[in-house]
Amino acid sequence: MDTVSIKKSGWLSISHFLLLLVFFALYYKVLYATIIGWFNYNGGHGLLIFLISIYIIWTRWIILRQTTLSPQVFVGASIMTCGCMLLILGDFSSILLLQQTSLIVTLLGMVTILLGFNHLKLLLLPVIYLIFMFPLFEEILGFFVVYFQAMGTFISTFFLKLFGMPVYNDKFHIVMPHITLEIAKVCSGINHITALVSLSIPLSYITQKKIGMLILILITFVVGVVSNGLRIALIGVWTQYAGASTIHGPFSLLYASTVFLSVFALLTFFSMLTGRSHIKETISKYRKKEIVDTRALSPFCSKFISFNIATVILCIAWGYLVLMQPVPVDLKKLYTVPFEIGQWKGENVEKLNERFEGEPSDHQLKKIYSDKSGNKIKLYVDFYAAQTQDREIVNSRSDWLHDRAEIVRIETDKKKIKIKKTKYFVQGKWKTAFFWYDINGNTFVERHTAKVATMLNAFKSRRTDGAIVIISFVDDDQTDKNQFQENVKGFVAEVYLHLSDIFQNR
């Protein structure tokens, strides 16, 4: 190798190192959160997804080495720019899923700008398949969670009747003489159904032909739904004989994760049994030619420029994230919420003993108001000076509030306001709660619009501060329920005006 070749090789090595360094600097938070998620209850299949993606690349390794490099600078740079923009949007709005999705887009852009369209065709499937590591499809199916809950209730009731057990189906509750099982969102089976389907895709690709692929994926979905219903039914059978102390069976065998592994093992055995001949065809498809390294056909200049442009794009995105981080906005007037509102007199408390209470934020307000009859209203305000991942007003602690929620309109002295009202069951009583989000003095009732508003506010004024307001009470014990509801609405209207004035003038 001559001196010129050695110098060129050295410059390319430096370019490779710088690109990897900047990529990990930009995405280390996303990569860390993803790897941690592999060891959580709902994300354990993520490691399998990653390994399967690596395996698909391995099956194509020989033809990847034979394919001539033809960097597509303009197209690749455009895709990378879109990926980086998604990352910035996700970071400013604290939406981890958006940041994870941006990782896939950026990787596709890097393949295009560094290797070209031919390599992109070969790597498109394994790279896009990585999206199943993230809860994107769980979020999409989450819009239909009530249907999965209903299917779980119906199927489990069917099996229980088949087993000869007396059972009554009450919407999302399975009522038996010895126990009542609630089919909550976490019991809907969405997580393990999505995991099963995601793993069935490469399995069907390797073992089945086109029609067989679709059939196997469809069978996997149906089996996932039915197995979740069967799991719930078996919980009902088990608790009749063993009691409710070990509701998930001996050695926790009736957890969704155990059922998932069992069903996946059966599907793997079935697909391997029915597609043995196709497995050899799929693997040998990319192993026909001898290894001929033709990467030298791509000029040094083209490679060097493409690597440098990719590095610059990532550097700009990283610099923007570092330099344009939102500025915290303090809120010092929250204590000015009056202790007397109409006929209600309040006091500060340390704890409200409610499900929606979370870890200490930047500012929290916890008050209990009482009237002359002894009725109580709890006021909770959670404010963040700058929202970040896991420190945000839209979070898993308060997501359940939206399950039975409806939008209501309440008259105030200034205008008619739109907030949400929900009911929830706790400690043997039904409670009612009014709640809303505040972003920069503007009211939002939906989680997604609150997230979008946070994102836009970050770009517009480098602020991501926000608050959630929750007002809860028990109204089932009231003799004059209508009058009590009107009194509460008057209280909510006054609180809304006081807090709006505080949020708008902070």
What is d(CA 236, CA 240) in angstroms, rounded to the nearest whole number?
Answer: 7
Q: Can you give the pLDDT at residue 269? A: 80
Cα atoms in the 13 Å half-sphere on the side-chain side of 486: 4
**pLDDT band (50, 70, 90) for residue 283:** low
Q: What is the pLDDT of residue 368?
A: 93
CA nearest to 383, candidates 450, 498, 468, 471: 468
Q: Is the pLDDT at 75 greater than 70, yes or no?
A: yes
Per-residue pLDDT at 377:
92
293 has a pLDDT exceeding 60 = no
* pLDDT score for 84: 95
Residue indicated by tokens 């990319």 = 286
Nearest to 150 by CA among 185, 178, 175: 185
| Six-digit token string for 360 | 């200490």
Q: What is the per-residue pLDDT across 148-185, written as a single tens digit (0 to 9) for each?
A: 888 888 998 999 888 888 888 877 788 888 888 878 77
User: Could you tell me which of 469, 399, 386, 397 has the C-alpha nearest to residue 435?
Assistant: 469
pLDDT mean over 23-34: 93
281 has a pLDDT exceeding 70: no
Highest mean pLDDT among 125-139, 173-187, 329-343 belongs to 125-139
Q: State the pTM of this model.
A: 0.80
Distance, CA of 260 to CA of 45 (rounded, Å): 10
pLDDT of 413-426, one tens digit each? 778 899 999 988 77
pLDDT band of residue 429 (cuts 50, 70, 90) is confident
What is the CA 449 to chain-centroid distance, rounded? 16
Q: Report phi then psi at 408, rounded to 5.
A: -125, 155
Residue 325 CB burial class (10 angstroms; 0-12, 13-18, ≥19): middle
pLDDT value of residue 478: 58
CA distances from 401 to 191, 337, 407 (A): 20, 24, 12
What DSSP assignment string belongs to 335-402? GGS-SEETTEEEEE-S----TT--S--SEEEEEEEE-TT--EEEEEEEEESS-BTTBSSSSHHHHGGG
- Residue 420: name the closest of 376, 371, 470 by CA: 470
Q: Tell me the average pLDDT across 176-199.
A: 83
Query: What is the pLDDT, as a whole number, of residue 4?
Result: 44
CA triple 108-112-116, angle to 5 deg: 145
Q: What is the pLDDT of residue 120?
A: 93
The pLDDT mean for the chain works out to: 83
User: Whole-angstrom Cα distance, residue 421 to residue 409?
Assistant: 10
- Give the single-character DSSP code of 325: P
Q: How confident is the model at residue 25 (pLDDT cuts 50, 70, 90)?
A: very high
The answer to whether residues 162 and 236 touch, using CB atoms and an 8 Å cutoff, is no
For 225-238, the pLDDT digits (tens) are 898 888 888 888 88
Alpha carbons 1 and 65: distance in angstroms, whole number: 21
How far is residue 214's CA from residue 121's CA, in Å, rounded to a whole number? Answer: 21
296 pLDDT tier (thresholds 50, 70, 90): very low
DSSP E strand stretches across 122-245: 168-170, 173-175, 180-182
- Return the top range by mean pLDDT from 103-112, 157-166, 205-214: 103-112
Least confident of 10-14, 160-164, 257-261: 10-14
